[in-house]
Amino acid sequence: MAITMQVPVLFTEKNRTSDEELQLIREMGIDNVDLNFGYEYCSEEGMKEILSCLSKFGLTPGNLSCMPLQKNRPIILAEENRDEEIKKFNDLIVLAEKVNVPLVSVAWQPDGILRTGRVSCDCSYGALTGYADMEEIGKREPLHGREYSLEEVWDSFDYFLKKTIPNCEAHGVQMALHPNDPPVPMLAGSASLIYRSEDYRRAFKLADSKCLTMKMCIGCWLEGGESFGNLMDDIEEFVKEDRVSIVHFRNVSSTLPSFYETLAEDGYGNMYAIMKQLLRNGFNGFMSVDHVFSAPEAKKENDGYVITALNQDKTEKPVIRYAYPTGYAKGLMHAAEQELKGEGL
C-alpha cells in the first residue's frame, strides 16, 4: 500500500509558486508536486528550469499539467486549428518522456470548472469556497455560439485518442483524464464527456490502451452521487484494473443540484472510509487536495467559472491554504494504513 501525496504548484509568466511556498510544501513532509504550468514552459529548456527550481527544495513532479493544453477548446470542440493544438499535446507527451515524468493531464472541459461563484458560508469559516447551483448554471447561454452535442464531443475525443495514444505508447507516457465538473450532461452549451462512471468505461474501451488512465476526482463523484456511480464499487473496479493514476481528495456539502466545497471532515462523504477503500484495493498512485478555500478578500463575482490553478488570487499565496487539508488527508491515510495492517491487508 503506497499513496504519494502531492500539492499543486504553478509556473507561468505572470504567476509562480514562490520559494517560500515550495519550502512550506517540503515542511509538510511532501516531496512530490502536481505541476501546473503555462505553455511558455512547455519545452525541454523550460521544464529543466522548473525541475531545477523544485529540486532545490527536494521536490519532484509526479505529473505534468500544461494548462492551455489540458483543457484545450480547439481540440475539444473540433475547431479549425485543432490539429495544430494536438501536435502541441503530442510534443508534451514526448517532453514528458524526456524529463522522466511519464504522466500528463487532460480534461474534456472547454470552459473549465463551472461554479455559480465563491461565497462565505458556515462551512468555509470566514474564507471563500466554491458554490454551484445548477438552477443558475443550467440557464447560461452557450459560450461558443451554439450547442455542441454529445456525439460531437465523443467524436472529437475519439479523434484526439487516435492522434495521441500511439504517441503515448511509443514514449511510455500515460494520460490522466479528469471528469466534467459539475458532472451533468451539458455545461454552458457543451455536452459533458465524463459525468458518470459509465463514461469512463466507454472512454477506456475507445482508447483500447492502458495509456489512458483516470484522474479520479472524489469531489465529482460526491457531487453527482448515485447518478455518477457507486463510489465505493467504482474505486474497487477501477483501482483493481489499474486505471486510476491520480486521486483528487475533496468533499462537498451535498449532491447536486447544489453544493458547497468543504473541508474533508465537514462534507457528506465519509472520507476515511473512502481512503480505506482506495488502500484496501491497492491504489498506489498520486493524491492531492485539488480545491481549497480562498482568502476573504479574493474576487467574488461570477465570471463563468471560478476555480483556477491553485485558486490563484493576487491577494494571497495559495499554497498556504493547502497545508491543513493536505495534512488532514495524510492523517487519514496513515490511520487507514495502520487499521488495514491490523486486518492483515
What are the pLDDT digits (tens) for 227-263?
Answer: 999 999 999 999 999 999 999 999 999 999 999 999 9
Task: Give the 3-state secondary structure of residue 338.
Answer: helix
C-alpha cell at 140: 447560461
With vertex at residue 264, the alpha carbon angle to CA 219 and CA 310, rounded to the nearest 5 degrees, is 65
What are the pLDDT digits (tens) for 48-100?
Answer: 999 999 999 999 999 999 999 999 999 999 999 999 999 999 999 999 999 99
pLDDT at residue 345 in the model: 67
Q: Which of 49, 84, 83, 88 is nearest to 67 (CA)?
A: 88
Q: Peptide bond preceding 185: is omega within 30 degrees of 0, i.e. cis?
A: no
- Model pTM score: 0.94
Per-residue pLDDT 10s for the chain (345 aa) are: 489 999 999 999 988 999 999 999 999 999 999 999 999 999 999 999 999 999 999 999 999 999 999 999 999 999 999 999 999 999 999 999 999 999 999 999 999 999 998 889 999 999 999 999 999 999 999 989 999 999 999 999 999 999 999 999 999 999 999 999 999 999 999 999 999 999 999 999 999 999 999 999 999 999 999 999 999 999 999 999 999 999 999 999 999 999 999 999 999 999 999 999 999 999 999 999 999 998 887 665 555 444 545 555 555 678 999 999 999 999 999 999 999 988 776
Report phi then psi at 166, rounded to 5.
-60, -35
Q: What superfamily would CATH give domain 4-342?
A: Divalent-metal-dependent TIM barrel enzymes (3.20.20.150)
pLDDT at residue 261 in the model: 96
Contact 323, 5 (CB under 8 A): no
Buried residues in 160-178 as b, exposed as e (16+ CB within 10 A): bbebbbebbeebebbbbbb
